């Protein structure tokens, strides 16, 4: 099994986000003895979880009101495992999957914003994550965040192209002056789903208001309508 120093070197040498994810899935996942592992950027979620039939599930999982692990990451920008913040019984209600019996997650930060997460899970019957795991993940997240800051500054993403069709619908309705409640009624989704979608759009475009969002994608809205 690789040690932390060799993992640092491996992550630093990744050429792109695809290769970085591959290292997380293999070497880093093995280091943490994880059943599952992954690296997710909020502005580039896998297409398989952006499909309409999974949209509500994704919105729920990315809701800080529902997911205490994500809420901890958003508020503190620090690694966490589920046992730090909820009881085992409560966690079973939040996430009943047997291959997510234990969860360890850490932040990927760029320009002071949480732009992604790295996560590991262990199945039922496997030992829980511990303090040493948190310390090791904290060190890895520092290297991941540095890698992201370096790569994204040298090869900027075309962020407006990462918006999903549903997010463009919502942005278009914002441009028409509709409130969150009115947008929800128009698209047959909850007002909270609209709020969460706008948060994701803001993160993707690196803006902090509706006005800035509309200014950034005004040309795309014209073609979308």
Report pLDDT digits (tens) over 48-58: 444 444 455 55
Banded pLDDT at 46 (limits 50, 70, 90)? low
| Pick from 2-16, 40-54, 67-81, 85-99: least confident | 40-54
Using DSSP bridges, classify how beta strands 102-110 and 36-41 pair: parallel, antiparallel or unpaired. Answer: unpaired
What is the secondary structure of 51-76 as a DSSP string? Answer: SHHHHHHHHHHT-TTT-HHHHHHHHH
What pLDDT is recorded for position 155?
A: 52
Banded pLDDT at 45 (limits 50, 70, 90)? low
Model-wide pTM > 0.95: no
Please give the domain boundaries of the chain with CATH numbers for all domains.
Answer: 4-154 (3.30.450.40), 159-224 (1.10.10.10)
Report pLDDT digits (tens) over 126-150: 999 999 999 999 999 999 999 988 8
- Maximum distance among all alpha carbons in the chain? 56
Tokens found for residue 183: 């947008």
Distance of CA 27 to the CA centre of its chain: 21
- 180-187 vs 191-205: helix axis angle to the nearest 10? 110
- 191-205 vs 165-175: helix axis angle to the nearest 10? 100
Please state, in angstroms and rounded to a whole number, the distance separating the CA atoms of residues 147 and 53: 33
Report pLDDT digits (tens) over 179-203: 999 999 888 889 898 999 899 888 8
Q: Of 53, 140, 128, nearest to 91 (Cα)?
A: 128
């Amino acid at each position: 099994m690789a040690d932390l120093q060799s993992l640092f070197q491996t992550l630093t040498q990744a050429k792109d986000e695809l290769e970085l994810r591959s290292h997380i899935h293999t070497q880093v996942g093995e280091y943490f003895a994880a059943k599952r592992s992954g690296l997710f950027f909020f502005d580039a979620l896998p297409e398989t979880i952006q499909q309409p039939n999974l949209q509500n599930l994704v919105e729920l999982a990315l809701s800080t009101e529902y997911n205490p692990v994500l809420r901890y990451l958003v508020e503190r920008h620090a690694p966490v495992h589920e046992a730090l913040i909820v009881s085992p019984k409560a966690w079973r209600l939040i996430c009943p999957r047997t291959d997510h019996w234990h969860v360890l997650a850490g932040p990927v930060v760029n320009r002071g914003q949480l732009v992604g997460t790295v996560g590991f899970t262990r199945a039922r019957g496997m030992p829980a994550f511990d303090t040493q795991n948190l310390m090791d993940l904290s060190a890895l997240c520092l290297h991941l965040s540095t890698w992201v800051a370096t790569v994204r500054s040298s090869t900027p993403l075309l962020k407006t192209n990462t918006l999903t069709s549903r997010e463009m619908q919502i942005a278009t309705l914002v441009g028409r002056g509709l409130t969150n409640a009115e947008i929800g009624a128009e698209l047959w989704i909850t007002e909270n789903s609209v709020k969460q979608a706008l948060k994701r759009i803001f993160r993707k475009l690196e803006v902090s208001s509706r006005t800035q969002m509309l200014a950034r994608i005004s040309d795309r809205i014209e073609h979308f309508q």
